[in-house]
Structure 1
């Protein structure tokens, strides 16, 4: 049997492993109402996802006129508090995720999550869904600390993907995500990348610049095998 071409896989979380938009949208709407803004359609909240919760809320607030920085900070804290208590009400793994993670583990692949969600939230959601055990590490948007500019070293910075590769043994790694943040981070780390067209893509999936695009999670393993055979 031919050996699987990758020793490790890094996964984005929201829009890649998990369908999280309903719980994220509810948290955004909770904050918007507190701030005196109109709620957004939970369905359209998919368009706000990418870059982490702070950017998500900022997009929703800015679309309705914006807020002074100190008022936005308070609203953001309220959103995080609400999300902390309601982060796995409607969130579910995408079809095929559990089966593929078991298959990859049986192939000896080491796995990591790299998300712009705060690490504590990511671990909490994965634990509630009984998925945390599949991953050797979970790297969140706050896990790498802040750079010289005072901003967290999160995707699209390559540092989180590099850290995930190190945590999984520094072998041949691939990454899968659904946004420009994911593709840029993987490219910066020198890692092949798969785009999840079924996720919350912030531009047309085939324009993200990934090595391959998949329409459903069960396509991941064949796509990785194809990338491996071509390299």
Structure 2
């Protein structure tokens, strides 16, 4: 077995470790119906995922004419409440996730989740799926607090990735995600990044700007070795 050439790996959650779109789509539709909007196809909800639940709902609402801010906030709170109770109904790990995490752990690689999902939601779904124990830390979209502009320091800001690197020992780290948010955050943190082409990519995978692209989670470990040769 070749030694993994990184001390730590950071993972995005939605569209990278977990196939979550069905539960996220159900939460969006719950809020849309409350607001008098048409439901969106659960399949097309994949296209709304990326910057977190608030952006996801905002895109769906804006596509149907938009809402005043106070009314949107009411729907957003309703969406979060629904998702809190229903965030692991249909959500599953992608094929090969458990096996790869086990192999990384066996080689002493330290692992973290960095997601724009609220930390409590991320921990809840990972616990439900019996995956939480694989990770030394889970950093959510709300974990780093807010910046001077009043917005959460979430991806594409580098702060969550930098915090994950610190929490996993400060050694050489790689990151894997499926969106421009992930790639931009990793690049800004000076961390090599792998794009998950099987996820909910907001651009064609090879246009995300990642250092490598994988078509399935089984390709992660070979890609990590490839990053070593390329750097």
TM over 0.5, yes or no?
Answer: yes
Give 1:2 shift.
4.7
Q: Deviations over 1:92-148 (max 9, x none)?
A: 000000000000000110000000000000000000000000000000000000000
SS of the equivalent of 1:59 reads helix
SS of aligned partner of 1:195: strand
Distance 2:227 2:73 in 1: 43
Superposition deviation, residue 4 in structure 1? 1.9
- Displacement of 1:3: 3.1
8 Å CA contact retained: 1:205, 1:213: yes
> For each residue in 1:50-80, what CA deviation from the matched residue of structure 2 results, as whole angstroms up to 9, or x when unmatched?
1000000000000000000000000000000
> Any conservation in 1 of the 2:6–2:109 contact (CA below 8 Å)?
yes
Aligned-CA RMSD value: 0.6
Within 1, Cα distance between the matches of 2:30 and 2:99? 34
Structure 1: unaligned runs, 5 residues or longer: none
User: Could you tell me how far 1:32 is from its partner in structure 2?
Assistant: 0.1
- Which residue is equivalent to 1:70? 70
Please give the TM-score of this superposition, normalised by the length of structure 2. Answer: 0.99
Say yes or no: does 1:218 pair with 2:196: no
Contact in 1 for aligned 2:4/2:104 (Cα 8 Å): no
**Any runs of at least 4 consecutive aligned residues in structure 1 with deviations exceeding 6 A, and if so which?**
none
Give the TM-score of the pair, scaled to structure 1. Answer: 0.99
User: Does 1:29 find its partner at 2:29?
Assistant: yes
Map Cα deviations across residues 2-61 of structure 1 (whole Å, 9 max, x no partner).
532100000000000000000000000000000000000000000000100000000000
Alpha-carbon contact 1:5-1:229 (below 8 Å) kept:
no
Q: Secondary structure at the match of 1:41?
A: coil
Unpaired segments of 5 or more residues in structure 2? none
State the match for 1:52 in structure 2. 52
The answer to whether the 8 Å contact 2:194/2:214 transfers is yes
Matching residue of 1:141: 141
C-alpha contact 2:116 2:142 (8 A) present in aligned 1: yes
